[in-house]
Amino acid sequence: MGRRPILGAIALATAVTLSAAACGSSGDDTSSSGKKTITIGFQGVLSGDNQQLGLNALYGVKTAIAEVNADASYPFELKLVESDDAGSPDQGPTAAQKLIDNKKVVAVVGPMFSGATKASEPAYSQAGLLSVSPSATNPALTTLGFTSFYRVIAPDTVQGKAAADYLADVLKAKKVYSLDDKSEYGTGLSGALEPELKAKGIEVIHDGINPTKDYQSEATKIIAAKPDVLYYSGYYAELALLTKALKDKGFTGKIASGDGSNDPQYVAQAGATAAEGVYLTCPCGDANSDPKAAAFVESFKKVNNGAKPGTYSGEAYDATKALATVFKQLGDDVNRESVLKAFPGVNYAGITKTVSFESNGEVKGSNVYVYQVKNGAITVLGNIADLIKA
């Protein structure tokens, strides 16, 4: 399905006309410095078992806002409104509506999890409110006709293929147990991983399990299948429980997972001993070990009480800075309609990548990295494309 269907365009035009009339320019308020203020929203997972991923992104947004507000070259200051969807499709629409109803909000960073994103985007499209996700990777999200959705991270078609290539070419797997959490994210990633594994002649066992607190029986099934590698498509809280169950039962194969598990909270919840050696793939680099991102890391720590950037921090920071670039270009004409119209043409040199977009809302150019838990810490091994060549 095309990205701008005729009916969607008509609905968007109607919605934009209404919202523009209702909210006008965001420059109605002024800050203490005398500059006009522009309000943006953040929608993400700020509660629940996997909230650290949401905090990573939120802190990235706050870092970008602090830098913009301290930079005299920007003729405005940014304000932020937060909306928690707990990473849940059920709570996504309500969280989105909170931001839509705030007529000062001219753009949103988020949503984050793919399920919450899919559930929220119809409302954003209807309202003509731009949303830029730092983390929603389900491949289908840019094919569903959403008219105001962009993402600054590669879809799982990219990560899944790269992860499969790493399992096959570097880990030399012959049999892979592919387990997902039945979410929009999990099924999207496993659905991209498995065809590439099969194309490489690897035996694939597919299974899905809803998030639970007891993975003992699943661990027994996995061990009985005797895979070389278990690849889990889901989030860190569940992977931690699954890892402990597998290790308790003596699993000797390798364990791998994707970006939803790539957070120090995984190690903390699984325990350093159980997590040791686990591989994690992500269409994101590690800012903490990237010399080119040193200034960002220091700024991030300063703004966020010493916290280090995590998964999605850099992407959320880049999304916010890209928005600020567009606001600056628009001058006094910053409103939902003008921002939505101008954002597709942005070209911002960020810390994770140059933020520019294909016509369908996908970010141009991405790399996929692999990490491994070593001595209780998640360590980047490198760009998968480079590791395969080595």
Domain boundaries in the chain?
36-154+290-355, 157-282+368-389
* pLDDT for residue 9: 36
* pLDDT for residue 366: 85
Place of tokens 């990633």: 189
Tell me the C-alpha to C-alpha distance, in Å, between residue 264 and each of 26, 126, 196: 38, 37, 28
Amino acid, res. 37: T
Give the predicted TM-score (pTM) of the model.
Answer: 0.89
Mean pLDDT for all residues in the chain: 92
Structure tokens at 71: 């930079």
Tell me the C-alpha to C-alpha distance, in Å, between residue 355 and each of 193, 199, 314, 363, 376: 26, 32, 12, 7, 33
* pLDDT for residue 390: 77
- Three-state DSSP class for residue 387: helix
Helix axes 114-127, 184-199, angle to 10 degrees: 120
Burial 126-143 (b: 16+ CB within 10 A, else e): bbbbbbbbbbbbbbbbbe
Residues of the chain with pLDDT under 70: 1-28, 30-33
Same fold, 36-154+290-355 and 157-282+368-389: yes
- Give residue-wise pLDDT tens across range 239-296: 999 999 999 999 999 999 999 999 999 999 999 999 999 999 999 989 999 899 999 9
Nearest 5°: the CA angle 245, 53, 129 is 140
Nearest 5°: the CA angle 371, 267, 50 is 95
* pLDDT for residue 30: 67
* pLDDT for residue 11: 40
Strand partners for 357: 363
CA-atom Rg of the chain in angstroms: 21
**CB-CB contact of 112 with 44 (8 Å):** yes
Q: Who contacts 97 (Cβ-Cβ below 8 Å, separation ≥6)?
A: 123
Amino acid, res. 181: D
Residue closest to 148 by CA, chosen among 7, 47, 44, 16: 16
* pLDDT for residue 34: 80
For residue 259, report the phi and psi dihedrals to the nearest 5 degrees: -65, -30
Instruction: Give percent of the chain above pLDDT 90.
Output: 88
Q: Which CATH class is domain 157-282+368-389?
A: alpha beta
- Give residue-wise pLDDT tens across range 362-373: 999 889 999 999
Q: What is the CATH number of domain 36-154+290-355?
A: 3.40.50.2300
Q: Rounded distance, CA 231 to CA 229, Å?
A: 6
